[in-house]
Chain A
Amino acid sequence: MLLLCLQAAKAQMPDDGFTMDKGIVCAVLGYSQSKWTHYWEGTRYRDNLNIGTFTSKAVMPMLAYGVTNKLNVFASLPYISNSSTAGTLTGKKGFQDFSVDAKYKVYSLSRKQFTVNLFAAGGFSLPATKYVPDFLPYSIGLGSKTATARIIAHSTFKEHVFFTAQAAYTAKSNITVDRITYYSDGQRYTNEMQVPNMWSGSIKAGYDNSRFRADVHYMFGSSETGSDIRRNDMPLPTNKMDMQAIGINGLLWIPRLDGLALLASAQNTIGGRNVGKSFMWMTGFQYFFTPFKKKQHAKA
């Protein structure tokens, strides 16, 4: 139910319009918390006294590398812990999905004070551990292998003001669960579950200079297919999970510590279907460095 938020929290990430030059490594360590007391059961908005407040905590390490000035690659592996304040259901925690992404600048245009960059991006993810996908909302992930294709348009005005729009399609593999029969828009006699493919996207407006970067954004995620949670039933990985959220991101370069920046973001869910109405905040560090500098100089 919270998985969508995590993807939106990343900064200097596969889905933004910034690039790193060749040879630069960016290491990110983030910590996030997402909480909800209300959720959408299908489209019906409700709370649940047997869940109370649901909390998802995540530690998100990520590495990014500038392969060339135009091509950046990313790898990440979050650790997630889910629990709630009420009820008798057990929480779940563990390493979630290992993901690899690449972002390539396909087009660049500069006219006076405007620049426009277009990127094609994509990536894969797969579960890093045998975590349990069919115990929502406590499951730490949906257990699918995924493939994502993304386009990003990033424009700047007078170097500092930027606008980014991006859209992505994520294909998700079916999963195998512990039970052999389940009800999702009718009885399904199989231990295989169809996890819906998903469209997602965001628009962002921000300001960037040598000391800090900040933006506001709107994002959405929308499952292509899927069933609704029935009234007073449990959620399933086969549900149609949709969400819309607004948020802010901030990045502050720490003076005198070359390459180190503080990250912070917050995001509030404003609409959804079969997901929690979560408020999420994230904080972390990112560190830019050039490990192979000498070698490259030598080469040059």
Chain B
Amino acid sequence: MQKLNYYILIAAILLGFTACNKDITERTEPDYEPLAIDANGGNWKTILLSNTGEATAVAPDAISSAAYTAELNEIVQLQTNISAADSKLINDWKNSGVIKWNAVARELVAKYNLPPEANPDGTYPVPSAANPGAYPLFPFANPPYASRAYAAWSVALYDALASCWKYKFQYNRKAPAFNDNRIKSLEPIPADLPSYPSEDAVVAQIGYRLLKQFFPLDSVRLQQMSNDQKRAKKLSGAASSSDIAAAEAIANYVADKVINRSRTDGMGNAVGNPTLWAQLESGAAANGTSVPWKSLETPARPPMLPFFGNVRGWNLTSTQRDSMRPPPPPAIGSPAFNSALAEVKEFAKNPSSNTWHIAMYWADGVGTYTPPGHWNEIACSLIAQYRQNELRAARTLSLMNMAVQDAGICCWDTKSFYYYPRPTQMDGSIKTIGVPNFPSYTSGHSTFSGAAATVLGYIFPQEQANMEAMSKEASISRVYGGIHYRFDCDAGLAAGKAIGSFSVKRGQGDGS
């Protein structure tokens, strides 16, 4: 009897251990071949370039030329001895590079989205672009910063790829694998998409240049990725040295232009200073807010980028921004205010498993890729589902990310204008999923989500209802989390939709 018990015990424990599989299953990069090549992409309207001819690519050497033959020979040489590492490289880069680089951007945002810790004297240090490696590391990739990075990267990508498409069909030089029967296609290479200049090298070079600009501490890794992608395309027979060089020239031209614009977009003034912060607080009354916002952190932290509303965006003039600023929120102490506060308190006190799940699903707070990153991931899954080519994928992401940054600009303008207190400031018993350190009205999540969903609903009409439902859920999640009044969310969502429609209009007129 005792022996039996002993064996049962041992057997049960062993069973328990073997039942534990520690591997986690992650969503993988989608594997698809584009539905169409968009041969007219070279005629599409660019965003910052005057047109697709602004960045130039000289005529390539003829297929029969000695120079091009040497390039082909180089690939033949590479393919005679494909190592396991080479095969892995080809496999790593055979799918959409746009989606892969977007995932890298999202990871970098998550890596750097950490609020600086207070100094011993109660002040807060600000990351320095001039000295990025000193604590606090540069950047603090908070939602406004992230929206600006995603937008700059995707705008550069779109303009460079549209230019690339122009020269592809102007010069019409096929991929090495089609020009030399000694060269194999070691990945699916579209036969009807010319390879000069290489779209993959454009994606690699833009990824490296733009992300290095926003995340300088990771430049070595980004350079490596860019080199890997270019090498993978040579190995697979998709691009030759001059295909890649022409792509780099276009990408560098566009990158310079976009980076120069971002250097002068006013971001440097978005942090403000103690005098300006005090003015926001004292100015709130004039805009109808009787109890101005206060930081709920200890020590009190200055508001996050309170002058981001003055940063230069993409689709709106500052006059348009002002005209779209939502009307004032309910007066503090009014019946509408009191009932909204009571609603937040109820959700905070008694979350259901459903409201808690929704609040956490969309929280995208400290240490994450932020709400703009969440919408980038959603966009990438749609790009894959509808099998968009690299140019069309860049168009999708640039239209969405311009709207998302504009949403951030308008929302932060509204926040600083009304300087409205968070629910927990008005009732300290409201405990939350984590109160963001900036004013309440309007909700950033709602504005970002309204804008993103509007653009994605336009690009993927079959998904319109789905996108709208997701944006509504992201919006209300902030009430469930105890950090926003419902009127913050409703006003933000409506403003976001209106802001998104500017990108829709741009898309409708871009000739795609």
Does B associate with A?
A: yes
Contacts of B435 in A (CB 8 A): 88
The verdict on A3 contacting chain B, using a C-beta distance below 8 Å, is no
Are A106 and B20 in contact, CB atoms less than 8 angstroms apart? no
Additional pairs, 16, CB under 8 Å, beyond known A86-B298, A89-B432, A194-B22: A71-B6, A88-B424, A90-B431, A90-B433, A120-B6, A122-B13, A149-B17, A171-B16, A177-B360, A178-B361, A179-B360, A179-B368, A187-B106, A190-B24, A231-B117, A233-B114
C-alpha gap A300/B318 in the complex (Å): 94
15 A/B residue pairs, CB under 8 Å, sorted by A: A71-B5, A90-B348, A102-B5, A104-B9, A120-B9, A146-B16, A149-B17, A171-B20, A172-B20, A181-B110, A183-B111, A187-B369, A190-B24, A190-B26, A232-B116
A-B residue pair count with CB separations less than 8 angstroms: 141
Residues of A within 8 A of B (CB): 49-50, 67-68, 70-71, 86-91, 102, 104, 106, 120, 122-124, 130, 132, 134-135, 145-149, 171-174, 177-183, 186-190, 192-194, 197, 230-234
The verdict on B103 contacting chain A, using a C-beta distance below 8 Å, is yes
Known: A89-B432, A178-B356. A193 touches B24 (CB 8 A): yes
Contacts of B26 in A (CB 8 A): 188-190
Closest Cβ–Cβ distance, residue B201 to chain A (whole Å): 25
Known: A71-B2, A187-B110. A50 touches B298 (CB 8 A): yes
Picked from B16, B24, B353, B374, the residue with its CB within 8 Å of the CB of A147 is B16
C-alpha gap A183/B373 in the complex (Å): 13
Are A232 and B115 in contact, CB atoms less than 8 angstroms apart? yes
Contacts of B360 in A (CB 8 A): 132, 134-135, 177-179
Are A104 and B6 in contact, CB atoms less than 8 angstroms apart? yes
Picked from B20, B110, B297, B433, the residue with its CB within 8 Å of the CB of A183 is B110
Interface string of B335-352 (1 = CB under 8 A from A): 000000000000010000
CB contacts under 8 Å to A, within B70-125, are 103, 106-107, 110-111, 114-118
C-alpha gap A124/B8 in the complex (Å): 14
Are A234 and B20 in contact, CB atoms less than 8 angstroms apart? no
C-alpha gap A179/B369 in the complex (Å): 12
Are B9 and A88 in contact, CB atoms less than 8 angstroms apart? no
Picked from A120, A147, A197, the residue with its CB within 8 Å of the CB of B19 is A147
Picked from B2, B103, B431, the residue with its CB within 8 Å of the CB of A89 is B431
C-alpha gap A71/B363 in the complex (Å): 49
Contacts of A130 in B (CB 8 A): 353
CB contacts under 8 Å to A, within B367-405, are 367-369, 374, 377
Contacts of A192 in B (CB 8 A): 24-25
- The residue of chain B having its C-beta at the shortest distance from the C-beta of A178 within the complex is B360
- The residue of chain A having its C-beta at the shortest distance from the C-beta of B358 within the complex is A178
C-alpha gap A193/B360 in the complex (Å): 15
Contacts of A145 in B (CB 8 A): 19-20
- Chain B at the A interface: SS class: loop
Are A178 and B357 in contact, CB atoms less than 8 angstroms apart? yes
CB contacts under 8 Å to A, within B414-439, are 424, 430-435
Known: A89-B431, A89-B432, A90-B482. A234 touches B366 (CB 8 A): yes
Are A186 and B24 in contact, CB atoms less than 8 angstroms apart? no
Closest Cβ–Cβ distance, residue B118 to chain A (whole Å): 8
Closest Cβ–Cβ distance, residue B92 to chain A (whole Å): 16
Known: A88-B424, A187-B369. A179 touches B363 (CB 8 A): yes
Closest Cβ–Cβ distance, residue B499 to chain A (whole Å): 25
Contacts of B130 in A (CB 8 A): none
Contacts of B432 in A (CB 8 A): 88-90
Picked from A148, A172, A183, A186, the residue with its CB within 8 Å of the CB of B367 is A183
- The residue of chain B having its C-beta at the shortest distance from the C-beta of A192 within the complex is B24
- The residue of chain A having its C-beta at the shortest distance from the C-beta of B140 within the complex is A232
Are B117 and A181 in contact, CB atoms less than 8 angstroms apart? no
Are A180 and B16 in contact, CB atoms less than 8 angstroms apart? no
C-alpha gap A147/B107 in the complex (Å): 34
Closest Cβ–Cβ distance, residue A242 to chain B (whole Å): 18
Contacts of B424 in A (CB 8 A): 88
Are B367 and A233 in contact, CB atoms less than 8 angstroms apart? yes
Contacts of A197 in B (CB 8 A): 20, 22
The verdict on B1 contacting chain A, using a C-beta distance below 8 Å, is yes
The verdict on B260 contacting chain A, using a C-beta distance below 8 Å, is no
- The residue of chain A having its C-beta at the shortest distance from the C-beta of B6 within the complex is A104
Contacts of B17 in A (CB 8 A): 147, 149, 171
The verdict on B263 contacting chain A, using a C-beta distance below 8 Å, is no
The verdict on B21 contacting chain A, using a C-beta distance below 8 Å, is yes
- The residue of chain A having its C-beta at the shortest distance from the C-beta of B348 within the complex is A90
Are B114 and A70 in contact, CB atoms less than 8 angstroms apart? no
- The residue of chain A having its C-beta at the shortest distance from the C-beta of B369 within the complex is A181
Contacts of A187 in B (CB 8 A): 103, 106-107, 110-111, 369
Interface string of B22-55 (1 = CB under 8 A from A): 1011110000000000000000000000000000
- The residue of chain A having its C-beta at the shortest distance from the C-beta of B22 within the complex is A194
Are B20 and A147 in contact, CB atoms less than 8 angstroms apart? yes
Closest Cβ–Cβ distance, residue B238 to chain A (whole Å): 26
- The residue of chain B having its C-beta at the shortest distance from the C-beta of A144 within the complex is B20
Are A122 and B434 in contact, CB atoms less than 8 angstroms apart? no
C-alpha gap A87/B15 in the complex (Å): 43
Closest Cβ–Cβ distance, residue A44 to chain B (whole Å): 10
Q: Which of A173, A179, A182, A197 is the most central at the interface, judged by chain B CB atoms within 10 Å of its CB?
A: A179
The verdict on B129 contacting chain A, using a C-beta distance below 8 Å, is no
- The residue of chain B having its C-beta at the shortest distance from the C-beta of A51 within the complex is B298
The verdict on B296 contacting chain A, using a C-beta distance below 8 Å, is yes
Known: A122-B12, A190-B24, A232-B115. A88 touches B296 (CB 8 A): yes
C-alpha gap A197/B107 in the complex (Å): 26
C-alpha gap A71/B3 in the complex (Å): 10
Are A102 and B110 in contact, CB atoms less than 8 angstroms apart? no
The verdict on B461 contacting chain A, using a C-beta distance below 8 Å, is no
- The residue of chain A having its C-beta at the shortest distance from the C-beta of B108 within the complex is A187
Are A190 and B27 in contact, CB atoms less than 8 angstroms apart? yes
Are A149 and B377 in contact, CB atoms less than 8 angstroms apart? no
Are A50 and B297 in contact, CB atoms less than 8 angstroms apart? yes
C-alpha gap A89/B25 in the complex (Å): 30
Closest Cβ–Cβ distance, residue B352 to chain A (whole Å): 11
